[in-house]
Amino acid sequence: MTAGTAVNVTVHALDEEGAGVALAPGEGAPPLELRIAGALPDEVVSARIEHVSNHRRLAWATLLSIDTAAATRVAPACAAYGRCGGCVLQHFDYAAQVAWKQQTLRALVAAEPALQDVAVLPAVASPAPFGYRNKSKLVPARDRDGRLVLGAYAPRSHRVVDLAGCAIAQPPLDDVAAALRDVLDEHGVVPYDEQRLTGTLRYVILRASASGDMLAVLVTAGEAFPGGAEIATALAARRPEVHGVVQNVNLSRGNVLFGPREVTLLGERTLPDRIGKVRLCVSPQAFFQTNRDVAALAYGAIAQAVDPRPGDVVVDAYAGIGGIALGLAPSVGRVVGIEEHPAAVEDATVSATWNGVTNATFVAGDVAERLAAVGQADIVVLNPPRKGCAPAVLDHAAALGPRVIAYLSCNPETLLRDLTLLHQRGYRTRHITPFDMLPHTPHLEALAVLDRT
């Protein structure tokens, strides 16, 4: 079977990227596995093969028509669905999405020899499947009609798709984006062209707090930003919820989002926010869970699972701006938060003051080295980036001798790898709980709780 061939197939599963999986007859050879974006299990679809692997019986196909729709198919909420590449599962009923993610994690755990007996608890759904995202990263561009748009790059391209009306964004974000688009257009701001290295504005990052206050970050390709202060003033005049506008200067030629230099154009450079009862200082470049409701549920599950006691020493590795550490601090004797990024440590320290926490210390540096310097801990929390923990981090975490380790992961594959290594270091996984932090995407957050054996 070659590119351009049309096939009619029955979809039986979804792959890790949310595309439908089907088998096409092999014409004398083994069946060809097809990946079809937009197709759902139990559907009969027509598709056109676009690319065939040279190494496996695997091909990618474009969905042409749905001949028999699945009962789980729903109408997508966004006008940009299928073009922006973001919410690839918006056509999949939300309850079915959560069930699929739970099943996926259970299959991954069962396939790991050291973890086959570990229980995967029911997945925790997002209280709000839409309007949950508290941050928008937008790319400015001109459309075919010359109109300024704020959007996202289409998959595998530099074509910008207009994200006006995004259904997963917290409501103020779309309104502020629309007002900012108009202000930028009125001031003649030229979008940056990555290929020609021309123009001024590279990205727009908008953050909305739990109370609806807003922080706008305008990432420019150079120090000069003519009219920047006037743009900030005009935006705040039209949208009073905008309490701060910051210019970030990014001189790099790659796809790095931020540069090191910031200029406050209006108001405050940080945004007060909260997860659960913890108030947090969010600076322009801070990592902050984009779904604060699910983050609150996950942090609450950590607090319940580790059973904090008044004399406990807690170490929160990859502490970020301190959401987990500050939530545990009132129940324990001492908390040490370790974070690689100094700016996040500054935010966490401010957050500790806001919450009246005096028994928490936040330090910046290499996580493994900082763990080695702690000495002893009763509770260790690990919340690493997608690449997971380096073996040295796991060595030092286990060497602290905590009675319990809570590991919150945004990548099930590295989570299971690291759990296996922790089992070799004297710990056993009590259970794993999936959390749907990003509805309508294949992304899966999971919390593992380990006890010392």
Enumerate the active-site residues. 410
CA distances from 302 to 118, 243, 284, 384, 433 (A): 17, 33, 27, 15, 10
Residue 99 has, within 13 A of its CA and on its CB side, a CA count of 8
Residue 376's Cβ-count burial label (10 Å; 0-12, 13-18, 19+) is: exposed
Q: What is the DSSP letter of 159?
A: P
How far is C-alpha 260 from the chain's CA centre? 22
Question: E strand or H helix at 293, and its extent?
Answer: helix 292-306
* Whole-angstrom distance, CA of residue 61 vs CA of residue 128: 32
The interaxial angle of helices 391-399 and 412-423, nearest 10 deg, is 50
Burial 21-37 (b: 16+ CB within 10 A, else e): bbbbeeeeeeebbbbbb
Phi/psi region, residue 361 (left: phi>0; alpha: psi -120 to 50; beta: rest), is beta
Three-point CA angle 11, 14, 17, nearest 5°: 135
Coil, helix or strand at residue 288: coil
The interaxial angle of helices 94-110 and 412-423, nearest 10 deg, is 30
DSSP string, 347-409: HHHHHHHHTT--SEEEEES-HHHHHHTT---SEEEE---TT---HHHHHHHHHT--SEEEEEE
Residues with Cβ within 8 Å of residue 449, at least 6 apart in sequence: 305, 306, 404, 405, 406, 407, 429, 430, 431, 432
Residue appearing with tokens 């006691």? 309
Tokens of 63: 């969905």
The interaxial angle of helices 228-238 and 171-186, nearest 10 deg, is 140
* Whole-angstrom distance, CA of residue 381 vs CA of residue 103: 26
* Whole-angstrom distance, CA of residue 62 vs CA of residue 51: 10
Residue 113's Cβ-count burial label (10 Å; 0-12, 13-18, 19+) is: exposed
Nearest CA to 43 out of 22, 74, 58, 29 is that of: 22
